[in-house]
Every structure is written in structure tokens, then in C-alpha cells.
Amino acid sequence: MSTYKNFTVETDADGIALVTWDMPDKSMNVFTVDVMDELEAILSQTVADAAVKGVVFTSGKSSFSGGADLTMIRGMFTMLADERAKDPAAAAQKLFDVAGRMTWLFRKIETNGKPWVSAINGTCMGGAFELSLACHGRVAANSKSVKLALPEVKVGIFPGAGGTQRVSRLANAQDALQMMTTGQNLTAQRAKAMGLVHQVVEPGELVNAAKQMIKDGLKPVAPWDEKGFKVPGGGVWTPAAAQLFPAAPAILRRETAGNYPGALAILKCVYEGLQLPFDTALKVEQRYFTQVLQTTEAFSMIRSLFISMQELGKGARRPAGVEKTQIKKVGVVGAGFMGASIAYVTAAAGIPVVLIDRDQDAADKGKAVSEKLVGESVAKGRLTKEEGETLLSLVTATPDYSTLSDADLVIEAVFEDRAVKKAVIEQVEAVISPTAIFASNTSTLPISGLAENSKRPEQFIGVHFFSPVEKMMLTEVIMGEQTGDRALAMALDFVGKIKKTPIVVNDTRGFFVNRCVFRYINEAYDMLIEGVPPAMIENAAKMAGMPVGPLSLNDEVAVDLSQKIMKASIADLGEASVKPEHMKLIDKLVNELDRRGRKNGKGFYDYPAKPAKKSLWPGLKELYPQRPASEIDVAVVKQRFLVTIALEAARTVEEGIVTDPREADVGSILGFGFAPYTGGTLSYIDGMGVKTFVALCETLAATYGEHFKPTPLLIDMAAKGDTFYERFDPYGKVLEAA
């Protein structure tokens, strides 16, 4: 047996070398420079050894591999910045060479002369799936833990290690494009149906089945390297392709508004590559991959959605020196939909949870939410019946506060009313242990004010979930003025345990996410009042990269909630805190027309009974005189939405609410879907340059109002040529933008 740092190689009596990938000190295998060096050495070793008849490649971990390591990706951008500083002309060639390392290593495996079989036992993503596709055989375990995907488009790039060429030569072009332009996960069965996997076997038979493929005479030649190979569906010059390829760019533009260079590059790679010999096609892919890597979108998305998200998820903001908490029991007070959902995700993480409400009936209704979610998961095969029963056994519904006596963490999720929350805080603190942490799930009320009702404000913190809790990846952790490190550490430990991404923000009305969201919605109010057609408002927002229009979003969060928030702002901050025209609009919708949003079937949209789809309420056009669409610049409408949100994010930094630019970027994308191709609110500003952004703000302020005026911080940064990631560097060492 040969042992490497990251692999073991063991050859059996049949001459089959089992290569097991098992990186020390890593929970998941990832590609690093060391891994590629070792893989190349293993390839040379097995080729040179006459006793080796073939190779089975598998993982020693519960998953196969998550793809590239974030440090390798970061190093690629750092290298590009360094090379550009020395010799801009040579920088692109150096990047081209580095980007091609994995491509040509996999091609060497494919053409080495001995059969390789990939035995896929779990999650197999990105470069790991591209390696598997370069093997001559692929066997996947029949397990729900097996997910196969080329998700690179979700972080701004595309499968650039042969993925676009191999998938489009194994599956029909339409399925290949759909898979790669969306980054969708495939089950083992779906991958087999598409032609990407040869066999699906029971987990215990995985390696044996892979070895059997070699014993049965698996050819060490890829289909496209054989004479007479034909692409599934006939390739580019067929009647079917004549329908697909002209329509594909239009469909992609409809879905992405042309905001994602990586997605468009996939179409180009497939269309051009299928007309070329395979090695030439790989070079075409390598060329486009190099181009996309140099875009602002790729840099910003990789930094936020790959690097920063992983860093925050692994506790980048966790205070040093505080021992990790083993959370053995959680209490949730308030069994409404939000509290019930928090209880569900807690139990799904294997933590016993007590769900409390005013009486047993109300508490049981809360547990019924978990029962419904479990039932849906069992029906879809995501959970077995036994797993579902185990999850539900961890949820105890009761009105008895004394059951919280041994809870490590208690989360209140009651009605957004200070008096109600005060009563809950007092009841909970009367029974919990001296070491327990209390967290409020308030979405608008400042944590420091609520902590005034606590006898131990240093153990009081905000943990703000987003609805639906089981789907939304973000959680805001809010520090009150007196919140201590231990409370922060436990909150972050809990959020990590339930597999959410946390951002830590200091206390303010609306915290970070809601402050930005209501800027988005308020800009739509301004546009309505100006006479911008409602359909243009919604469509321009989506063209700018937002997942839903602001009017649709307002319906989802409830129009009457907007009214309550405005009234609370006026009560606390004075009349000037809300535009009178906004108050008048919302009062009319709620008080006169009873249009409260999706919850009562009518808001900015009408919500007919299914299967009919929602549509904009025709009466919106009657509220204000409509301007002709031809007089309105859609590009400016798009700018207004992105700029007003980004400005609000900059204000939170200036006020010390957000202290780490990673959190503003990740929080804005995960919290409300801020145009992901920008990399988030602060990356949007950095990406165009602060000086350019300030000039844009001043132009918009001159026409559309003072709320577009750049802040003193932005003006100072523009004058000094700063970026947010330089001035508020979260690494201690600046990661220069490419």
C-alpha cells in the first residue's frame, strides 16, 4: 500500500488499485495544489506499474468532495493581482495556464491507457464531478446523501475543468445546458438517466461494483476519443439544435437579464466546443474560463458567496477565547409560525427543544408545524419515517415555563410588542439557570431596549430569523449595548449547529437586513407616486438582479406591517422619519381598501384562487397619474434600486452597525436576494469604484431626492481611493480585487 498525505493507494490481487481520498484535518475533501500534485504522482505511479490493471477512485469520508478549496480560489485572484502589477500583458497568460492545470490533469487521467472508475459515495460537486466525468466509469451509491452537481455558475464562474465539454457529450444538449446554467443538484438516479453515471448500486456494494466494471473489460477510452463518436441528439447541426441554440440565449437573458457572464460562457463553450475536436474544445473552455475569472462579477461572487460565506459559517466572527458551547437543550417561547419553525430547525439539528405558548392547545398547534414539515420531507424521500419520528420526538410542546430550567438557550418569538416581550422575558428569567442565554427573535425592536427588561443584559442577545426559517440560510445575530462575548459565542454556535450563515450586527432599528429591505420598498413607493408604471417597477427591479420586485416583496412581508413600522418610526423618531406621501399611500391601501398583502389575498397584487397566478392590482394605475413608459429610462430605474440599498448598507458601516464588509455582502444576498452577481451591497460599490458610486449618487440625488446623497464616509473614501475591503479589511491582509 502506498500512502500520500491526502490519499492511500492499495492494489488488490486482481491488479485493481483502490485510490482513497481522505484529507487529514478536513471534514470534506477539497482540491488544493497539494491534492493535484499528489493525484498526478498517483497517475504516474499506476501507469508505470505493470501490475496495476485499473484504478478505482473513491473517498474515505462520508461525502466524496465539495470541489475546490477556498484558499486555492483566493490564491488565484491574489496571483492575478500580483501579476497585473508586474506585467499586465503577461497576467492573462499566467491565469490561463493556472486555470488549465485541473483541465489537463483530468485529460491525462482520461488518456492514461488504464481504466479509471469513480466510486461516488456522497456529495460530489464542481471539480470533483469533473474528475469523475474524466474517469472511464462512474458508479454512484443509491443514497439520498449523493448529490452530483456543477454549481460553479452560482458563484460567478462555470465548470472550467472539462465540465462543459464532457456533460454536453454524455447528455443531450438541452439537459446539459439546464444542469450547468442553473447549477442544479442531481440525484444518482437522475444522473444515470442523463447518461452521466453508468451504475447506481447500494452503498455497501459501491467499491465492489466499481472494481467489477474493470474486471468486465471497461475500455480505458472516453467515448469521444473513439472513431465514429456522435454527440447525443446529433450535435449542433440538427433540426433539434436549430431550435435549441437560437432560443437558449433568449431564455438565459429572460432568467438572468444578462447579469451573469459565467452562465453565458456555458452556452458559448457548449455551442463552439461541440463543433471541435475534444482537445481543441477544452482549450476553448479554458479561454472562456480565463476571461470570466477576470470579470468583476466573478471576483465579487466568489469572494462573497464562496469564500466569505464559508468563513462566516465557520465562525469568523466568533469571539476568541470563549470555549465552544455544547447546546443540549433549547427553549422557544411563542409557538406561532415563526417560533414553531425555529423549533423545527432546532430539532432537525438533533437538539431537544421545548416549544412554549400560553396554553397546551396553542403549543400543540406550533408542534403541528413540525409535523407538517416532517410529513412533507418523508413524502419527498428527504427523511425516512424513522428519522421523521426521531425529529418530532425532540420537540416538546407545553405551556409550562418550568421546563426551561435546564435550557442552555431560550429564544423568544412572540408578537412584536414591547409589553408582550417584557412579560415573556420576566417569566423566562424567573426559571432559567444562571448560565442560560436569552435571545430575542425581534425583527424591528432594538435589542438594547428589550434588554432593559432583563436582570442580566450581558446574557441577552438578538437572533433574527427570516421566514420561512427552514429555507432561509441567513440569521442576524444582534449585539445589544451590554451583550457579552459568551452570549455572542453561544448564539453563533447555535446558528452554526442549525446550518445557517450568521452575520453579527450592532443594535439599531431594523438591524441591517430590514433597513436595506425597506429602502428598496420605499424607492418603489417613490416611483409609484412619480407615475412610473407598476409593471415597469417590478420588471426593472428583476432586470437589476433582484429575485422579486419590491411591490411583490411588500405583499409578502405584509402591507399592514409596513404601516405599523412607519407608525412606530414616527412615534419614536418624529414625523420627519417617514415621507408623508408614503404614509398616505399605505394608509389608503390598508385603512380604506383593506389591501394588506398576500395574507388577505390583495395588496399591490391580486391573489386569485389557484391555479390562477397573481397579477398586479389594476387599481394601482388609478392612484397616481401614469407617465408614458417611453419617457422613463429603465437603466436609471435599475440604478435607483441598487444604489438606494447599497447606500443604506454604507450608512450601517458608517454608524458602526456593520463592522465587517463580508457580513454586509453575504447578509444582503442571503437576506433579501440583493443582485447576487454584484457580490453584495458593498462589493457593488467597490466593484464600480467608490469615486464612480459617489458621482452616481450625486446625479440621482439631484433628480430623485436627498436620500441619494452620498455619506461623509463615502466622500472620504472616494477622495482617498479606498474600497470597503481595504478600509474595513476583515482579513488583516488585503485581498486585492482582480
Q: Concatenated DSSP letters for 450-489?
A: HHTT-S-GGGEEEEEE-SSTTT--EEEEEE-TT--HHHHH
% of the chain at pLDDT higher than 90: 83
Task: For 355, list phi and psi in degrees, rounded to 5.
Answer: -110, 115
**How many Å is the Cα radius of gyration of the chain?**
28
Tell me what the mean pLDDT of segment 39-61 comes to: 96
The grid coordinates listed for 103 are: 483541465
pLDDT value at position 610? Answer: 84
Residues in the chain: 738
Tens digit of pLDDT for each residue in 362-418?
999 999 999 999 999 999 888 899 999 999 999 999 999 999 999 999 999 998 888
Lowest-pLDDT range of 440-444, 456-460, 553-557: 440-444
Burial tier of 247 (Cβ tally within 10 Å: 0-12, 13-18, 19+): exposed
First to last CA, the chain: 43
The grid coordinates listed for 274 are: 461541440
Residue 737 has pLDDT above 70, yes or no: no
User: Any idea where the domains of the chain sit in the sequence?
Assistant: 2-294, 330-510
Q: 124-125 and 395-398: which strand pairing?
A: unpaired
pLDDT band at residue 738 under the 50/70/90 scheme: very low
Tens digit of pLDDT for each residue in 421-437?
999 999 999 999 999 99
Active-site annotation, residues: 464
Instruction: Please state which architecture CATH assigns to domain 2-294.
Output: Alpha-Beta Complex (3.90)
pLDDT band at residue 214 under the 50/70/90 scheme: very high
The CATH code belonging to domain 330-510 is 3.40.50.720
Residue 132 has pLDDT above 70, yes or no: yes
| 66 within 8 A of 30, measured Cβ to Cβ | yes
| 547 within 8 A of 603, measured Cβ to Cβ | no
pLDDT band at residue 508 under the 50/70/90 scheme: confident
Tell me what the mean pLDDT of segment 255-259 comes to: 90
Task: For 17, list phi and psi in degrees, rounded to 5.
Answer: -90, 120
For the entire predicted model, the pTM comes to 0.91
Q: E strands along 305-433, which residues?
A: 330-333, 353-356, 395-398, 409-412
pLDDT value at position 325? Answer: 86
pLDDT value at position 736? Answer: 42
- Which of 71, 79, 29 lies closest to 731 in space, CA to CA? 71
Compute CA 593 distance to the chain's CA centroid, rounded to the nearest angstrom. 38
Residue 539 has pLDDT above 70, yes or no: yes
Tell me what the mean pLDDT of segment 684-702 comes to: 97
